[in-house]
């Protein structure tokens, strides 16, 4: 650790280049790491070599062993077998925990009640005498923020920042420590595209600074953009380490799942029926304004917008989770604006929430209960639940969605992200709705499960349901949607369909450059 923190000049391209040439030893060597939890083997003989100064990405499906590997590197776990060498020296877990490694966990760990500067310097506030040196702290924080082009006032309370800004503040906390190894676990999952771009440039900059970055992400294009080398984990073993040289996404996917996935866009010929959902000039001042949208039976309509575009608020208002001041939400000709979710469901509109842990699942209830929750009234007679029907429904759904569970009485918290998402889908589809509003249907889901979820969405549309997909994952929308409605600055910026369904066109609409 540098005693004087961030006092030295932050950008020294020459010095960095010097160091890169003079020092090419590995900063991290994992050799034959094995870790078991009870009867289950999480990692078996994982090898990983990280060179000093490189950006090294780790890829793998959920359950492939990424989290366990990171925890071992960060000193939170001890491996059963194998060695972890840092800068050529074998280390124990406590040594690594105390040592020169900084990790940003996937879960947001900011202090929303504190100022931006205090968050960045949390745990290591600059002091003078016995007191906190606030002037120095704010000055340094401002320096750090401006370095990455962030216009955030350092005295601002973090609760007033957007989630994306909060995430960046948290990452800056790790950066501020000037550790020689920085671990980022899914750092862009909560960021919009603009913020993700900032983050990626930050990572590149750190790499120039000779900081080694270990980067875990589901977003393949990011990994391809910034990583020098990529290690793929599968089933708790390291499959391969690739140099990022003329690689394309399909190469990575093949290594991750061990098979080829279906090609990009599927050409569909499904019958599109009459209008099922019609939104007319829906407005909530300050959130979304004059939103008009139509979705017909058998159609998949994508809604794309960067953070702050109003798409997220609109999706919640559509289902009655948020208020909408004026306009109409017509379902089968009836205006449902202002109706609560219960009435929306009764009218045939079902909703898949974006964050399954926050809303959507009961992590400590059985899968049976989770699937039955939205249809309790339908499977009850005179207020009494038909428990056989619940169980049968759960068994059917577990089979239908290929949910990999120990049993139908298992709890979601025991499942991987992909399987949790499938349980969420079962609950969403349980009452056979006519219209589906899906919010981020594959967030935090690995590649394999993602493809399965996409299959489910397509087959629901084929079965004549009207589907509206809200997603910040543009490739996903391109793959799924018949047409894409783009939102920008709380309004609809345009609609794209047919030949125009191209990534650059849509992005231009969303970012306002078109």
Q: What tokens were used for 316?
A: 């919640």
Least distance CB 89 / other proteins (angstroms): 24
Helix (H) or strand (E) holding 510: helix 503-511
DSSP string, 269-307: -----SEEEEEEEEEETTTEEEEEEEEETT-EEEEEE-T
Kindly state whether residue 456 participates in binding other proteins, applying the rule CB under 8 A. Answer: no
Kindly state whether residue 259 participates in binding other proteins, applying the rule CB under 8 A. Answer: no
Sheet containing 483-488: order of strands? 349-352, 435-439, 466-470, 300-305, 483-488, 491-497
Least distance CB 139 / other proteins (angstroms): 13
Q: CA-to-CA distance for 514 and 506, rounded, in angstroms?
A: 9
Q: Which of 32, 88, 94, 340 binds other proteins (CB under 8 A)?
A: 340
Q: What tokens were used for 323?
A: 């208020």
Kindly state whether residue 335 participates in binding other proteins, applying the rule CB under 8 A. Answer: yes
Q: What tokens were used for 226?
A: 């910034």
Positions 355 through 384 that interact with other proteins (CB under 8 A) = 358-366, 369, 372-374, 376-377, 380, 383-384
Positions 163 through 222 that interact with other proteins (CB under 8 A) = none
Least distance CB 461 / other proteins (angstroms): 21
Q: CA-to-CA distance for 197 and 192, rounded, in angstroms?
A: 9
Cβ nearer to other proteins, comparing 408 with 461: 408
Kindly state whether residue 502 participates in binding other proteins, applying the rule CB under 8 A. Answer: no
Q: What's the full length of the chain, in residues?
A: 514
Cβ nearer to other proteins, comparing 415 with 485: 415
Q: Which of 351, 401, 425, 470 binds other proteins (CB under 8 A)?
A: 351
Positions 100 through 139 that interact with other proteins (CB under 8 A) = 105, 109-115, 118, 122-125, 127, 130-132
* Cα angle: 465, vertex 466, 471; to 5 degrees: 120
Q: CA-to-CA distance for 12 and 147, rounded, in angstroms?
A: 13
In order of 116, 311, 391, 482, the CA distances from 486 in angstroms are 32, 9, 41, 13
Q: What tokens were used for 97?
A: 């925990």
Cβ nearer to other proteins, comparing 377 with 462: 377
DSSP code of residue 260: P
Kindly state whether residue 419 participates in binding other proteins, applying the rule CB under 8 A. Answer: yes
Kindly state whether residue 512 participates in binding other proteins, applying the rule CB under 8 A. Answer: no
Cβ nearer to other proteins, comparing 113 with 497: 113
Among the residues of 385-486, which ranges form H helices?
Answer: 387-400, 417-429, 447-462, 474-480
Pattern 13-52, other proteins, x by CB under 8 A? ------------------------xxxxxx----------
Positions 459 through 478 that interact with other proteins (CB under 8 A) = none
Cβ nearer to other proteins, comparing 111 with 495: 111
Kindly state whether residue 341 participates in binding other proteins, applying the rule CB under 8 A. Answer: yes
Positions 63 through 82 that interact with other proteins (CB under 8 A) = 63-65, 67-68
Least distance CB 360 / other proteins (angstroms): 5
Least distance CB 192 / other proteins (angstroms): 18
CB 93 within 8 A of CB 78: yes
Least distance CB 233 / other proteins (angstroms): 11
CB 469 within 8 A of CB 481: yes
Cβ nearer to other proteins, comparing 90 with 323: 323
Q: CA-to-CA distance for 203 and 184, rounded, in angstroms?
A: 10
Kindly state whether residue 235 participates in binding other proteins, applying the rule CB under 8 A. Answer: yes
Quick one: which of 59, 71, 63, 3 has its CA closest to 33?
A: 71
Q: Which of 164, 348, 418, 441 binds other proteins (CB under 8 A)?
A: 418
In order of 275, 327, 393, the CA distances from 388 in angstroms are 36, 43, 9
Positions 262 through 321 that interact with other proteins (CB under 8 A) = 284-287, 319, 321
Q: Which of 8, 194, 268, 409 binds other proteins (CB under 8 A)?
A: 409
Cβ nearer to other proteins, comparing 354 with 501: 354
Least distance CB 38 / other proteins (angstroms): 7
Cβ nearer to other proteins, comparing 115 with 210: 115
Kindly state whether residue 261 participates in binding other proteins, applying the rule CB under 8 A. Answer: no
Q: Hey, how many other C-beta atoms are within 10 angstroms of the C-beta on 264?
A: 10
Strand, helix or coil at 494? strand
């Amino acid at each position: 650790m540098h005693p004087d923190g961030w006092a030295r000049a932050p950008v020294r391209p020459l010095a960095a280049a010097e160091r890169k040439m003079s020092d090419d030893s590995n900063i991290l060597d994992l050799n034959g790491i094995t870790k078991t939890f009870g009867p289950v083997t999480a990692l078996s003989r994982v090898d990983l070599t990280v060179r000093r100064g490189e950006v090294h990405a780790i890829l793998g499906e959920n359950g492939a062993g990424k989290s366990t590997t990171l925890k071992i590197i960060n000193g939170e776990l001890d491996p059963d077998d194998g060695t972890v060498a840092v800068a050529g020296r074998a280390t124990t877990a406590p040594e690594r925990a105390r040592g020169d490694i900084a990790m940003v966990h996937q879960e947001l760990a900011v202090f929303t009640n504190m100022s931006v500067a205090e968050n960045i310097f949390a745990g290591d506030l600059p002091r003078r005498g016995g007191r906190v040196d606030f002037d120095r702290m704010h000055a340094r924080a401002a320096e750090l923020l401006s370095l990455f082009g962030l216009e955030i006032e350092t005295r601002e309370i973090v609760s007033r920042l957007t989630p994306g800004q909060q995430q960046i503040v948290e990452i800056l906390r790790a950066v501020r420590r000037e550790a020689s190894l920085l671990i980022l676990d899914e750092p862009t999952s909560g960021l919009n595209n603009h913020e993700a771009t900032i983050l990626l440039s930050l990572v590149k900059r750190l790499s120039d600074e000779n900081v080694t970055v270990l980067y875990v992400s589901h977003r393949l294009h990011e990994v391809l953009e910034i990583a020098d080398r990529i290690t793929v984990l599968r089933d708790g073993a390291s499959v391969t380490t690739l140099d990022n040289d003329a690689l394309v996404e399909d190469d990575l996917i093949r290594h991750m799942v061990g098979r080829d996935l279906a090609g990009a866009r599927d050409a569909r010929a499904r019958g599109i029926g009459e209008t099922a959902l019609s939104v007319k000039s829906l407005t909530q001042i300050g959130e979304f304004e004059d939103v008009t949208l139509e979705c017909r039976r058998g159609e998949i309509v994508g809604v794309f917008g960067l953070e702050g575009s109003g798409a997220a608020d609109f999706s919640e208002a559509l289902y009655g989770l948020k208020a909408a001041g004026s306009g109409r939400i017509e379902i089968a000709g009836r205006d449902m604006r202002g109706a609560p979710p219960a009435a929306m469901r009764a009218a045939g509109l079902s909703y898949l929430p974006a964050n399954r842990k926050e809303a959507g699942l009961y992590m400590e209830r059985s899968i049976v209960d989770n699937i039955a929750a939205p249809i309790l009234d339908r499977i009850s007679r005179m207020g009494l639940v038909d428990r056989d029907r619940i169980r049968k429904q759960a068994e059917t759904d577990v089979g239908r969605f290929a949910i990999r569970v120990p049993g139908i009485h298992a709890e979601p918290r025991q499942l991987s992200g992909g399987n949790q998402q499938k349980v969420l889908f079962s609950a969403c589809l349980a009452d056979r709705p006519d219209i589906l509003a899906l919010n981020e249907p594959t967030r935090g889901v690995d590649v394999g499960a993602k493809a399965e979820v996409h299959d489910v969405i397509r087959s629901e549309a084929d079965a004549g349901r009207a589907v509206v997909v809200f997603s910040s994952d543009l490739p996903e929308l391109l793959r799924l949607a018949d047409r894409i409605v783009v939102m920008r600055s709380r309004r609809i910026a345009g609609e794209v369909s047919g030949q125009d369904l191209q990534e650059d066109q849509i992005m231009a609409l969303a970012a306002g450059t078109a």
